[in-house]
Amino acid sequence: MLDIRLVRDQPDFVKARIATRGGDDARKIDELLAIDAERRKAETQLQQLNGERKRLSKEIGGRRSRGESSDELEARVRAIGDEIGRLGDEATASETRQRDLLLRIPNLPHADAPMGKDASDNPVVRSWGEKPHFDFPPLDHAALGSKLKLFDLERAAKLSGSGFICFTGAGAKLERALIYFMLDLHTREHGYTEISPPFLVRRDCMIGTTQLPKFEPDMYGLEENQMFLAPTAEVPVTNFHREEILAAPDLPKKFVAYTPCFRREAGSAGRETRGIIRVHQFDKVELVKITRPENSYEEHESLTANAERVLQLLGLHYRVIELCTGDLGFGSAKTYDIEVWSPGQNAYLEVSSCSNFEDFQARRMELRFKDADGKNRFCHTLNGSGLALPRLFAAVIECGQQRDGSVRLPEILLPYFGAAEIRRDA
């Protein structure tokens, strides 16, 4: 959520920044300002009337205790009360409209964000390692998975419909090995505190991390309970300290959480549907930071590096791209995507998206800290996958495949998986 005062003071600046995203959200700014003026006008009048009522009511109390008549005063206050009721409704309506609108206006891209229209304009920031070479035609993960019985999509569909995965045997074990490996790495070497949060969250939390109200059609909700299946651990973990005022020395807070993620993927039917690349439920290890505003961009770099470390230790080739203004997510000011190489798809797969939301989420969830002057200020929030599982899983088996159909696993997984290879007969 943008700071209404910033919008008020520098509307042209705000409009220009938002316009870089494309779309017509900049138009909403004028509407917002109109509502804001209306709201403040009603509020000011309301406050004057409230003051008057307060004064007169005290006067009534005084007169009554002295045994004097207060009839004419009571009539006046009653009339003021009616007016207060009317104006109050007006003020509340404006307030609601303002908030609703504010919740649907995206964050301002960072001043240095690369300009661009869509994903094709995203610059590559760096890459690591090299594409593996095969002296045989490599299979994609779907073929490998079914040959080695690592997952069973047909039977998963029987249980839950298309777009669900059922890992089996060595596949289930490999998934678990990857999760354990990543959690250990981030807790032991990168200093994150592990969180195992609820997967069902309240509406307010979904608003806090910007999934709602705009993206409600993409979310799984439980109508009667007004709860939602978290589409990412970002939701429960970032909201962990919502409506709190943290002590400055306690920042940054660094959390890592492994959770399943639930997404309707409405409207993406037919895209990337082969195998386990795009599904309704997947596992993910997520990194979340709550920082002071001054150093959130440093923390953003290190968070991204922490996520990259996973791929480096697994020996998987990847590249990091920065999202251009046109491709940036709704709440993000700056985002790096990490993409691992998939020989089977002959393409890079997004396995992590590391974003700095600045105070955009914090303002929505009233997440603050007390600075050295004793003033309450909004924190900055960041998150990034560290990493998303099905795609990482796909890259691991595709890159490790051998001519005989077996898969050689990265050495670092040996203590977690208990074997160096996955063979057909296993």
Q: How far apart are CA 228 and CA 310, in angstroms?
A: 30
Count CA within 13 A, CB hemisphere, residue 229. 15
Is 65 an interacting residue with respect to RNA (CB under 7 A)?
yes
* List 342, 352, 353, 385, catalytic entry: 353
- Our finding on whether 64 is near RNA (CB under 7 A) is yes
Tell me if 81 contacts RNA by CB under 7 A.
yes
Q: Of the listed pieces 51-59, 126-134, 207-215, 269-277, which binds RNA according to CB under 7 A?
A: 51-59
User: Is residue 127 annotated as a catalytic residue, yes or no?
Assistant: no
Q: Which stretch binds RNA (CB under 7 A): 49-57, 103-111, 125-133, 179-187?
A: 49-57
At 113, list the tokens. Answer: 């964000």
Among 10, 16, 30, 62, binds RNA (CB under 7 A): 62
* Sign (positive or negative) of CA dihedral 43, 48, 51, 57: negative
Residue located via tokens 């007006």:
90
Binding residue for RNA, selected from 19, 56, 103, 305, defined by CB under 7 A: 56
| Min CB(137)–RNA separation in Å | 46
Site string for RNA, 186-225 (x = CB under 7 A): ----------------------------------------
User: Among the options 95, 265, 350, 366, which is catalytic?
Assistant: 350
Q: Is 367 in the site for RNA (CB under 7 A)?
A: no
Span interacting with RNA, options 71-79, 286-294, 322-330, 354-362, rule CB under 7 A: 71-79
The one catalytic residue among 21, 363, 368, 391:
391
- Dihedral sign (CA 185, 187, 190, 192): positive
Report the distance separating Cα 380 and Cα 415, nearest Å. 37
Q: Extract long-range pairs of 14-22: CB within 8 Å, 24+ residues apart.
A: 14/108, 17/108, 17/109, 18/105, 18/106, 18/108, 20/109, 20/113, 20/115, 20/325, 20/326, 21/106, 21/109, 21/325, 21/326, 21/328, 22/117, 22/118, 22/325, 22/326
Catalytic annotation, pick one of 17, 278, 364, 368: 278
Contact between 229 and 199 under an 8 Å Cβ cutoff? The reply is yes
Q: Which secondary-structure segment (H or E) carries 40?
A: helix 27-65
* Whether residue 104 lies in the annotated active site: no
Instruction: Give catalytic status of residue 286 as yes or no.
Output: no
Q: Least distance in Å: CB of 92 to RNA? A: 6
The CA distance from 302 to 319, in Å, is 16
Catalytic residue set: 263, 278, 350, 353, 391
What are the residues binding RNA (CB under 7 A)?
4, 40, 43-44, 46-48, 50-51, 53-58, 60-62, 64-65, 74, 77-78, 81, 92, 245, 374, 376
